[in-house]
Structure 1
Amino acid sequence: MPHPAQRFTRKRVAAATGAAALAATALTAGAIGFGAGPASAGENHSGTATPIKHVVVIFQENVSFDHYFATYPQAANTPGEAQQGTGTAAASFTAAKNTPKDINTLATAGLLAPNNPNAVQPARLSPMQAVTCDQDHGYTAEQKAYNGGAMDQFVQFTSRDSCGTNQYGRPGLTMDYYDGNTVTGIWNYAQNYAMSDNHFSTVFGPSTPGALNLVSGQTHGATEYTAAGQPVATPAAGSSTVRQPDANGVGTVINDPDPVYDDCSNNSHAKTNNLAGMTGRNIGDLLSAKGTSWGWFQGGFTPTTAATGTTPASCLSSHTNAAGASVVDYSPHHQPFQYYASTANPHHLAPASDAEIGHNGQANHQYDLTAFNKVVNTDNMPAVSFLKAGMYQDGHAAYSDPVDEQNFITNTVNQIQNSKNWENTAVVLAYDDSDGWYDHAVAKVKNSSNSADDAAWCQTAAASGIPMASGYADRCGPGPRQPLVVISPYAKKNYVDHTQTDQASILRFIEDNWHTGQIGDASADATAGPVNAMFNFDRQRTDKVLLNEQTGAVASITKTEDGNNSGHDDGGNNRGSNSGE
């Protein structure tokens, strides 16, 4: 448990830092960044730039694009396979005939065995191998794996091949991938809605940088604190909490320090770990300034022990994953708004009433996942909702897995599709980092860095003249490629977008749709590519595809009135599919 005085220390730090941040940072009016989007994007949609009135971001953990889509849309369909944990028969997968052919997968790139340049060849993971070792996904390790863009050093720098009980491992595990017999649900969403094959981490590195980039496009602006919440004036050389600090001790986050404005930080870790706090604005600040409802909803956020006058809250609820391991639900370093004084709910207070959800109040827009369930089918569903699964269902290797993750995603999407709000909602399925899993695609560096934390990939970019935004080091990116899927009545059907995007592209869509302006201070939102190609805002689909929440197979399809299940008119990719059935 954190130091008894931590509650009061954090409160003082929050008040001082929050006031300074709000005074020092002005809203920056940005141009609406829909690029070459449809004409209707500029029409009057009663306060939004598009017909989308609700965005739900399901933000999962640690998956590279090739790890889930290496052979898409071809699955092995091996007879007799079953899911780890339940023994449920794995679903088969057959793609629609009109599935696009020009998808940048490992298979289409010709890099499956025996043609891969890495030291170990890629291999398929079965549904019985759902829980695996966690890979090395450090900021520097991932850059080294790139080997100057050759993409052939993953085994040497990111592969972790042996681990705990009931976790699958083998030499060169980082190279391995699942197919539509394990990640059936995500493949079926891609078949029936829209996906990207050119979406990347904003920067290299693990969960916290990815989460911060989602909500602010910024990993600079971090201050280090002791485990008791006291500011560290001069971070120690080599500190893992804040890197490259300036004369005021403000630097960049490249690792996973817990947030200072959270009683539950260090609950599940060593009690002496230093913490981090962020200055500047995030999307929550911008939405609140516009009077737009929003919230972050995370599994396990409700305390198991409530805060008192002398004792901080504790968050130690748990669930069992597919390997039978007990996993604590709440991870503080997966909760980006808890790093900011202005948007934190340090004591994990519940909303005073259901009517408060999404609005100002004692919970300060930070909630348990159960709060979303209360409002999803009501007029009080927030305009913007970020959903974070409990750790056993978030997809992170070692403690989670694709089977448990699929259960969460399909259950959540089914719930939204069956709600009164589905007709104007966009669900965005995205990930915080790649976990170090191999992916063959490489994006040209947009933001360079040449610190001691950077390998040749980023240092060479800096030497060649690629700018380092505002001189903030350790924000090199884009990093590895990740899945991105959009599920919406306005999503194109069986469509693959090739526009280069990153995590800050989701932030930029929210900013533009609700006219919030941009973050400023060299946030990645200013240069993030648009996600709009995955939508057709001129035509609302009336079909919806519900999936089996255990297997990910298609459970039901509601047809359109004309019977063609049509979502858009781009080259015939709008006909029905029997995928997963």
Structure 2
Amino acid sequence: MYPLLAGSALAGSLADIEHVVLFMQENRAFDHYFGTMAGVRGFSDPNVQVNSDGKPVWEQAVDSALTNDTSYLAPWYLNYQGGSFLDATQCMVAGDNGWNDNHAALNGGLNNHWATNNTPWSWGHYQRSDIPVQYAIADGWTVGDMYQESVIASTNPNRVTWASGSINVPGSPQTKSEGGYPYIDNNETPGCEADGFNCYPLTWKTTAEIYQDQGVSWSIFQDADNFDDNPLAWFGQFQDALTGSALSNKGMVGQSLDTFYAMASNRSLPAISYIIGPTELSEHPPYAPRDGAWLQKKIVDAVTQGAAWSKTALIISYDETGGWGDHVIPYHSPNGTQGEWLEDPYGKVGYTYSGPGFRLPFYIVSPWTRGGKVFTEHADHNSQIMFVEEWLQAKGKDVVTSQMVPWRRAHMSSLVNAFDFENPDTSLPSLPEAPAPHTNAQGVYDGSSYCESLYSATRPTVPYTSQISPDDVSSLSEQGFKEMRGTLTEGRYIVFEMAGYALTNAGEPATDFTATEATSTHSDITQRWVVHSLVDGGDTFTISSAKDGRYIGSHTGLIDNSSGAESYTVSFVASKGYALQKQNGKYLSVDGSGNLQIYSDVSYFDAYSVTYSS
């Protein structure tokens, strides 16, 4: 048996991972859970979309059917009324998670109809005190703040993507006979809906079958109650698998959660584990986040206290938003991209993209992601498939699926940059206790019905007449920072540091930016910068100062507006950091004396995503 390691271990590589655990929960959005978290793209987003009417997406449209007291709904704290709502909202429902209502909320890219086309509760959020375990896990390791649902739709299409890389939008690698064009709803009735879409069962090849073919060990872990959340069970080849066969034993029957805990303890887990939780612990409204937190802590404790902790990566994700809103307009493919765009089969929104959709909570627990970091790359459920592909390729196994839509493979992250393989850290953060879920007299989980029996109202009053100003949404945020990892994306204030110095705008009358000593909390407003992407999903940006809004111009000059701003290509190397390359091909650097330099040779900055009110 291997001993539990503590502190830093020897530097390694992707191939050092022996076990990957994929654990997917249900129906929560990023802003809804982590919008208040410091150091992430949340309620202090400096790049928030402002629509042509001059209103930021913080201002969700309302109509007379909702209220005549205001013209907008701003993000609001679900438990602002206190009292019994601190417990009652644990079993509340927000809105609808289906294709139609979520595309309607997106409103053609304006993203301003969450209140009118879903519900006003969709725009509500929790804070740390409501979901302390989820916050602590995300803070203890690495949270991803640009991880998106794969489909702007409900559970099944998203979990099908998680298990296979596609939902068979026209132009995908699949044929129509393998599951219809496309699979965008929770249909589990044999046959197809009108016009041949949402066919069931699906029959294209899943990643689990590829792992089986290549001799890679894997298993579903689930109990008898799995909330019908095992996506392999929706494929005909698993339904038809002979009793006792690998597909039946590993993919349909699976092994219990108790078996997972035992196998994690004694280092006998398969290479790939899929965790499917029970209904009441899934976090799917009205099932309580605090009950899901208990399951999450059980999984995290099993992995981190197990004999193979130093060799294990646990990826925790959610399948879709569950009718909760998120302010970031989905990063998606260009109009007409094969395998991505389709005519809405329901005839509601016309020609549209299937996804990726809105952001979800996402975090990675491993010795290589320890330390309260934020991973900023565009990612979706395909990213988990690609991570496993790269990991097993490093171990000499070819498990690359041919079923993934090409645009996703080219534009979604493989997650590898979230990991710092040169500096593993097996130490453990202190996690809050998670109260055990309520059970009935028969020992069956019944937290949602018990909660609903205690409170006549689980939905708080929408604060139309007492809400914050859209200009004050950033006041909802916690204060602090996170070290950044991954390809740069918008949505945060950034401090760039090198050799103990940070890029600095001292403000007027200075006409150039310089470098000054960095602070331990990365909190100096003169050292805060905002990047503005020139191409959605690209690596070229203009850069402005949080101090006074001035942009970096030519050389080291600062100018009053974006006209004439110099563009910077920002690249990330996992073992080194961020390189800031100017239009002339040269790189920003800071020497050991704190002098700003421009060199032909590349040098790398550490970067911190910071959230401070001043």
Alpha-carbon distance in structure 1 between the residues aligned to 2:179 and 2:377: 38
Report the residue type matching 2:59 in the other structure: N
Give the letter aligned to residue 346 of structure 2: D
Give, in whole Å, the separation in 2 of the partners of 1:291 and 1:517. Answer: 10
Of 136, 149, 170, the residue aligned with 2:96 is 136
Partner of residue 402, structure 2: 520
The equivalent of 1:252 in structure 2 is: 182
How many Å separate the matches in 1 of 2:258 and 2:314?
Answer: 18
Is the CA contact (8 Å cut-off) linking 2:178 and 2:203 kept in structure 1?
Answer: no
Q: Show the counterpart of 1:237.
A: none
Residue number in structure 2 paired with 1:67: 32
Q: Which of residues 538, 543, 546 is equivalent to 2:427? A: 543
2:215, 2:232 → 1: CA distance? 18
1:498-537, aligned counterparts within 5 Å?
498-515=376-393, 516-523=398-405, 526-527=409-410, 528-537=412-421
Q: How does 1:271-310 map to 2 (within 5 A)?
A: 276-300=200-224
User: Following the alignment from structure 1 to structure 2, what is the Cα–Cα distance between the partners of residues 435 and 572?
Assistant: 36
What TM-score do you get using the length of structure 2 for normalisation? 0.58
Q: Distance in 2 between matches of 1:216 and 1:248?
A: 13
Q: Which amino acid aligns with 2:140?
A: N
Alignment partner, residue 386 of structure 1: 274
How far, CA to CA, are the matches of 2:160 and 2:315 in structure 1?
17
The CA RMSD over aligned residues, in Å, is: 3.6
Whole-Å separation in 2 of the counterparts to 1:107 and 1:405: 27
Q: Distance in 2 between matches of 1:363 and 1:104?
A: 38
Which deviations, in whole Å up to 9, do the C-alpha atoms of 1:401-429 show, x marking residues without a partner? Answer: 11101111011101111100111111111
- How far does residue 286 in structure 1 lie from its aligned partner after superposition? 1.1
- Corresponding residue of 1:125: 78
Indicate the residue corresponding to 1:8 in structure 2.
none
Give structure 2 stretches of 5+ with no counterpart: 1-9, 50-54, 63-72, 80-85, 192-197, 334-339, 437-519, 521-573, 578-604, 609-614
Counterpart residue type for residue 339 of structure 1: W
Distance in 2, matches of 1:63 and 1:246, equals 31
Q: For the Cα contact (< 8 Å) 2:331–2:357, is it kept in 1?
A: no
Tell me the percent identity. Answer: 20
Q: Distance in 2 between matches of 1:246 and 1:569?
A: 46
> 1:432 aligns to what?
319
d(CA) in 2 for partners of 1:361, 1:115 = 48
Given that 2:180 and 2:199 are in contact with CA atoms closer than 8 Å, whether structure 1 keeps it comes out as no
Match in the other structure for 1:367: 255
Q: CA–CA distance in 2 between the matches of 1:248 and 1:336?
A: 15
Match of residue 106 from structure 1: 43
Trace 1:158-307 onto structure 2 (pairs within 5 A): 158-159=118-119, 172-220=120-168, 250-258=180-188, 276-300=200-224
8 Å Cα contact 1:338/1:345 also seen in 2: no
More strand by share: 2
Residue in 1 aligned with 2:16?
51
Q: Which residue does the alignment assign to 1:453?
A: 346
Whether the 8 Å contact between 2:57 and 2:110 is mirrored in structure 1 is no
Q: Deviation at 1:131?
A: 0.8
Deviation at 1:501, TM superposition (A): 0.4
Give, in whole Å, the separation in 1 of the partners of 2:315 and 2:250: 24
Q: How far apart, in 2, do the equivalents of 1:114 and 1:289 lie?
A: 47
Look up the match of 2:453: none
Q: Is the 8 A contact 1:216 1:283 kept in 2?
A: yes
Give the Cα–Cα distance (whole angstroms) in 1 for the partners of residues 177 and 58 of structure 2: 50
Task: Show the counterpart of 2:571.
Answer: none
The answer to whether the 8 A contact 2:138-2:363 is kept is yes
Asked whether the equivalents of residues 143 and 454 of structure 1 are also in contact (C-alpha less than 8 Å), the reply is: no
Instruction: Give 2:226's aligned amino acid.
Output: Y
- Partners of 1:184 and 1:537 in 2: CA distance: 28
Deviation at 1:57, TM superposition (A): 1.2
TM-aligned CA deviation for residue 483 of structure 1: 1.1
Which protein is bigger by CA-based radius of gyration? 2
Counterpart of 1:233 in structure 2 is none
TM-score (norm 1): 0.61
Distance 1:285 1:453 in 2: 32
Conserved 8 A contact 2:94-2:324: no
